Amino acid sequence: MNIAVLSGKGGTGKTTVAVNLAAILKANYVDCDVEEPNGFIFLKPRNIRSQDVKVLNPVIDKAKCTLCGECVKACQFNALFNTKKEILVFEKLCHSCEACRIACGSGALSFQERKIGVIEEGEGDGLKCYRGILDIGEPMAVPVIRQLLKNVPEGFNLLDCSPGTSCNAVSSLRYAQGAILVTEPSAFGLHDLKMAVKLVREFSLPFGVVINKWDESGYLLEVYLWQENIKVLGRLPQARKAAEEYSKGRLLKDLPLYQAGFTALAEEVKEVFLCS
Amino acid sequence: MKIAITSTGKELTAGHDPRFGRCAYFLIYDTEEDTYKAVENKGQLAGGGAGIGAAQQMTDEGVQVVLTGNLGPNAYNLIKASGIKAYQCKAVSCQEALALYKAGKLLEISQAGPSHAGMS
């Protein structure tokens, strides 16, 4: 079973929740935030194996190309350009759909692989860790996320997703059977939580909310959750100590202030997602 | 010769749009016939590569001169590679832009501006 950890707003504590929960539940940890994966800093997996992620981009055989421009018309992503002397390919805009190859009447198009990132896996303390890393300068994360999630093992996997509700978060959710939404008591946290709730409801996924950096200021958030009848899986207190430990790459689950909160959260997660 | 002016509307009296890839229309003025037509910018709502799509429209329409505000890196290179001259223009209306060009008062764009400049 794959449980996605997402938030809408960035910096609410997706990774904090995901790595600590994975460590407590001995769940496999999968870092899907491939533009800035940081979960390995906390879980410190060993024996890392990696494989490349490649996409297919068109190559034009100039000897066969008639410069008719049909490939350019077929491309929905403006990845091809006809200068009337040659066809130029903008590889980073290409979505590898191969419509250009179908449109080409003279068989001038073939495809070649281009590396855009890597998938890594390794062993943490009693759990497996996976992550995708998008190469610097590459704009498209979805192929990396897809290859990462196609290769996760059976069992209980926690997917640490990208912030936001765009393609990157959506493509992780496609592989999830449930979701944990992490939010904070700020106005931004609430605003973006509402977008994340809309998204998981669109996917008809069972979900619950974790309020991180919890304090009394989150009145509007509590009202919203109550009105929408959304399950609160746990509340983790706001404390400077958490930021200090995080900055050193340490887990919070054994800190006196957080131990009870994380243990209770882990129990709730087990009950909601694993026993239903 | 055909001159394309990035425009917010379909008439010469319409506002000049300083954006290239994301403008609403191109007004294509034919200097020999003294006529113009409005062409919708197909790349206006593109998810990405709007400047590339717009530059392709310019070459497909046989345009030799473009009057706009800025060209992003991709559009600049393609316009150059296609042998089209681009001029920077801060005019209010398209009519005014054309008049400034005819009077030789516009500077040729000699470097690419920032990408996604017209996006808010």
| CATH label of the domain that carries residue B81 | 3.30.420.130
* Residue pairs between chains A and B whose CB atoms are closer than 8 Å: 38
Contacts of A27 (CB under 8 A, 6+ apart): A3, A21, A127, A155, A156, A157, A158
Burial class, B92, CB count within 10 angstroms (exposed 0-12 / middle 13-18 / buried 19+): exposed
- Radius of gyration, CA atoms only, chain A: 22
Residues A252 and A218 reside in one and the same domain: yes
CA atoms within 13 A on the CB side of B68: 33
Contact call for A78 and B59, based on CB within 8 A: no
Query: Which chain A residues touch B if contact means CB-CB below 8 Å?
Result: 69, 72, 77-79, 81-84, 88, 90, 93, 139
The answer to whether residue B44 is domain-embedded is: yes
pLDDT reported for residue B47: 79
Residues A218 and A245 reside in one and the same domain: yes
When divided into structural domains, chain B yields a total of 1
Contact A158, A1 (CB under 8 A): no
Query: Which one of B48, B78, B82 has the shortest CB-CB distance to A77?
Result: B48
| A79-105: average pLDDT | 94
Residues A17 and A81 reside in one and the same domain: no
When divided into structural domains, chain A yields a total of 2
Contact call for B56 and A82, based on CB within 8 A: yes
Residues A99 and A125 reside in one and the same domain: no
Q: Residue B113 — pLDDT band, cuts 50, 70, 90?
A: confident
Which residues on neighbouring strands pair with residue B90, listed in sequence order?
Answer: none
Contact call for B78 and A88, based on CB within 8 A: yes
pLDDT reported for residue B119: 59
Closest-CA distance, A82 to chain B, in angstroms, reads: 7
* Per-residue pLDDT tens digits for B35-84: 999 999 988 888 788 999 999 999 999 999 999 999 999 999 999 989 99
Query: Which one of A81, A83, A93 has the shortest CB-CB distance to B48?
Result: A93
Instruction: Please report residues of B whose CB lies closer than 8 A to that of A83.
Output: 59, 78, 81-82
The answer to whether residue B73 is domain-embedded is: yes
What CATH code is carried by the domain that includes residue A191?
3.40.50.300
Query: What CA–CA distance (Å, rounded) separates A234 from A230?
Result: 12
Burial class, B91, CB count within 10 angstroms (exposed 0-12 / middle 13-18 / buried 19+): buried
| A194-219: average pLDDT | 95
Residues A157 and A121 reside in one and the same domain: yes
Query: Which one of A78, A84, A93 has the shortest CB-CB distance to B59?
Result: A84
| B94-110: average pLDDT | 92
Mean pLDDT of chain A: 95
Residues A74 and A187 reside in one and the same domain: no
Residues A159 and A246 reside in one and the same domain: yes
Instruction: Please tell me which residue of chain A has the smallest CA distance to B84.
Output: A83
Segments forming the whole domain that contains residue A204: 2-53+117-274
pLDDT reported for residue B120: 52
Q: Which among B20, B44, B59 is the top mutation candidate for probing chain A, defined by the most A β-carbons within 10 Å of its own β-carbon? A: B59
pLDDT for A218 beyond 70: yes
What CATH code is carried by the domain that includes residue A84?
3.30.70.20
* Per-residue pLDDT tens digits for A31-90: 999 999 999 999 999 999 999 999 999 999 999 999 999 999 999 999 999 998 899 999
The answer to whether residue B75 is domain-embedded is: yes
Contact call for B50 and A93, based on CB within 8 A: no
- Give the whole-number percent of chain A exceeding pLDDT 90: 94
b/e code A30-46 from CB counts within 10 Å (16+ = b)? bbbbbbebebbebbebe
Residues A49 and A88 reside in one and the same domain: no
Contact call for B56 and A78, based on CB within 8 A: yes
Directed axis angle between helix A240-247 and helix A256-269, to 10°?
80
Tokens 């495809």 map to which residue? A111
Residues A246 and A188 reside in one and the same domain: yes
Strand, helix or coil at A33? coil
pLDDT reported for residue B118: 62
More confident of the two residues B119 and B40: B40
Q: Residue A276 — pLDDT band, cuts 50, 70, 90?
A: low
Residues A28 and A101 reside in one and the same domain: no
More confident of the two residues A157 and B47: A157
Residues A90 and A138 reside in one and the same domain: no
Residues A169 and A241 reside in one and the same domain: yes
The answer to whether residue A112 is domain-embedded is: no
Q: Residue B90 — pLDDT band, cuts 50, 70, 90?
A: confident
pTM, full prediction: 0.86
Contacts of B94 (CB under 8 A, 6+ apart): B5, B7, B11, B12, B13, B14, B15, B16, B27
The answer to whether residue B34 is domain-embedded is: yes
Instruction: Please report residues of B whose CB lies closer than 8 A to that of A81.
Output: 52, 55-56, 78
Contact A224, A194 (CB under 8 A): yes
